[in-house]
């Protein structure tokens, strides 16, 4: 059947163009009808396709937009069964179509993200607003023992079917004014391990030192004007947090009530640094000395050594271009992430690999790269071939006058 044949670049481009047009309408709160866009596609550039195949392709585009840290159409829930070739092609087409020019910041509600209360894993008491893509726990026993990661491992297993966690201010170290306030909504990954392996900022690692075990998070949202359990949500007390300092708790009956109370409360996606080369393979796994490797079907593979008169390391220019577009969308102008130098000419900036390609083959996503000016990029590699200066170290160098 024609609908089962591989999509051409022209067909994928037509689907992306329609998708981005709908997304812009959605983000500007302008009413539109998806069926009208689909009918137009069926009558023109996608006449060889079926209604269902177009619908599924739109969900594929949502999946790619999500991996690129871009907003996606709420009605097209991401479908991951794309295929490595189609995913790479869609990434390229989205970049070419200007899909990386972010619309204004979007505010959602909890109900937009968590359709039913059964998707809530539970609540976690935190001392402040989440500052990294992790939820942290204390140790269980000695390092190397079977029980050491038990709390995080249990959370990773539950995240398969109940991925969302509500973070509420609580515990002995809670910051002033935050006790009992609902601070964050987080979508858990299935990856857990030492906090120091899942957090990239050394200052954040130091701040979280007393919680050496962590569960990685895909996304973190912040509640706008964080509501208080008692004063705003009508809870009689804070007993929902009993046991939540040590783990993620799911009190019978209380989670449904919490979901209903928070259903229409606005949340905003938090821009937090992701772990370097992070990948969630879809099954619970423990991070060891190395972060999970990313299969070639997920991103763009780089680093293979090929002969071209001399041995060189293969790089993919598309992933560097996409990284520069992400930088432009974040800062408004092309900006060095170390020294904050800005310019309209993105060609003046380099896409830096924090994990050097000389360490071997890997699969790279645009968000893994850092955008640096030539001076900061060269400084990054002055520390050593296999271990360049981190972004935090570069910023410290700049702050001290670049001695």
Per-residue pLDDT tens, the chain, 403 aa: give them: 334 578 888 999 999 999 998 988 887 777 888 999 999 999 999 999 999 899 999 999 988 887 776 778 878 888 767 776 777 788 778 866 665 444 444 568 898 888 889 999 999 999 999 888 889 998 787 777 778 899 999 999 999 889 999 999 998 888 999 999 999 999 998 889 888 888 767 777 788 888 899 998 888 899 999 999 999 999 999 999 999 888 999 998 899 999 999 999 999 888 666 555 556 667 888 886 444 444 444 455 555 555 444 444 445 677 788 888 888 878 888 899 999 899 888 888 999 988 766 555 656 677 788 999 999 999 998 876 567 888 888 988 888 888 8
Domain end point (choices 249, 264, 286): 286
Whether 246 and 305 share a structural domain: no
Whether 254 and 392 share a structural domain: no
Instruction: Give, as one character, the DSSP assignment of residue 228.
Output: B
Closest CA to 278 of 377, 363, 370, 186: 363
Residue pair 381/353 in contact (Cβ under 8 Å)? The answer is no
Whether 254 and 389 share a structural domain: no
Whether 137 and 229 share a structural domain: yes
Whether 335 and 264 share a structural domain: no
Classify residue 124: in a domain, yes or no. yes
Whether 143 and 65 share a structural domain: no
Whether 281 and 304 share a structural domain: no
The pLDDT, as a whole number, for residue 219 is 84
The pLDDT, as a whole number, for residue 102 is 44
Classify residue 12: in a domain, yes or no. yes
Pair type for strands 107-109 and 164-169: unpaired
Whether 252 and 169 share a structural domain: yes
Domain end point (choices 74, 96, 118): 96
Alpha-carbon span 111 to 121, nearest angstrom: 15
E-strand spans in 22-156? Answer: 107-109, 120-126, 134-137
Whether 153 and 268 share a structural domain: yes
Residue pair 275/133 in contact (Cβ under 8 Å)? The answer is yes
Classify residue 104: in a domain, yes or no. no
Residue pair 365/309 in contact (Cβ under 8 Å)? The answer is no
Whether 51 and 18 share a structural domain: yes
Classify residue 292: in a domain, yes or no. no
Whether 207 and 328 share a structural domain: no
Number of domains in the chain: 3
The pLDDT, as a whole number, for residue 313 is 45
Domain end point (choices 42, 73, 96): 96
Classify residue 295: in a domain, yes or no. no
The pLDDT, as a whole number, for residue 303 is 58
Q: Which residues does residue 192 pair with via DSSP β-bridges, in sequence order?
A: 215, 286
| CATH classification of the domain holding 135 | 3.10.590
Alpha-carbon span 119 to 15, nearest angstrom: 31
Classify residue 92: in a domain, yes or no. yes
Whether 193 and 130 share a structural domain: yes
Classify residue 293: in a domain, yes or no. no
Residue pair 129/179 in contact (Cβ under 8 Å)? The answer is no
Which residues constitute the domain of residue 259? 109-286
Classify residue 37: in a domain, yes or no. yes
């Amino acid at each position: 059947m024609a609908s089962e044949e591989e999509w051409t670049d022209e067909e994928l481009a037509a689907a992306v163009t329609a998708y981005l047009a709908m997304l812009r309408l959605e983000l500007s709160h302008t009413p539109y009808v998806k069926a009208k866009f689909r009918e137009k596609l069926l009558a023109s550039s996608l006449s060889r396709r079926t209604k269902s195949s177009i619908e599924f392709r739109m969900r594929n585009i949502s999946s790619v937009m999500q991996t690129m840290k871009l907003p996606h159409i709420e009605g097209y829930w991401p479908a991951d069964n794309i295929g490595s070739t189609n995913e790479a092609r869609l990434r390229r087409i989205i970049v070419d179509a200007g899909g990386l020019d972010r619309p204004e910041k979007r505010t959602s509600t909890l109900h937009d993200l968590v359709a039913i209360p059964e998707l809530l894993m539970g609540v976690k008491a935190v001392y402040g607003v989440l500052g990294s893509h992790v939820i942290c726990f204390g140790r269980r026993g000695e390092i190397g023992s079977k029980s050491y990661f038990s709390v995080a491992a249990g959370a990773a297993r539950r995240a398969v079917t109940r991925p969302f966690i509500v973070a509420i201010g609580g515990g002995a170290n809670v910051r002033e004014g935050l006790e009992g306030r609902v601070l964050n909504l987080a979508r858990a990954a299935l990856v857990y391990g030492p906090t120091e392996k899942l957090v990239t900022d050394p200052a954040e690692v130091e701040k979280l030192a007393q919680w050496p075990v962590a569960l990685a998070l895909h996304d973190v949202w912040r509640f706008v004007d964080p509501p208080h359990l008692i004063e705003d949500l009508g809870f009689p007390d804070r007993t929902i947090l009993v046991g939540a300092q040590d783990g993620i708790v799911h009190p019978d009956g209380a989670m449904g009530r919490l979901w209903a109370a928070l259903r229409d409360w606005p949340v905003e996606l938090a821009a937090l640094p992701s772990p370097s080369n992070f990948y969630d393979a879809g099954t619970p796994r423990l991070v060891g000395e190395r972060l999970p490797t990313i299969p070639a079907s997920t991103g763009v593979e780089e680093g293979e050594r090929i002969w071209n008169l001399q041995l060189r390391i293969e790089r993919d220019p598309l992933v560097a271009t996409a990284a520069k577009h992400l930088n432009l969308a974040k800062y408004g102008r092309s900006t060095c992430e170390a020294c904050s130098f800005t310019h309209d000419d993105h060609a003046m900036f380099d896409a830096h690999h924090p994990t050097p390609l000389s360490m071997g083959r890997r699969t790279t996503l645009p968000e893994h790269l850092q955008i640096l000016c030539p001076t900061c990029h060269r400084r990054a590699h002055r520390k050593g071939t296999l271990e360049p200066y981190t972004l935090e170290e570069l910023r410290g160098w700049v702050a001290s006058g670049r001695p």
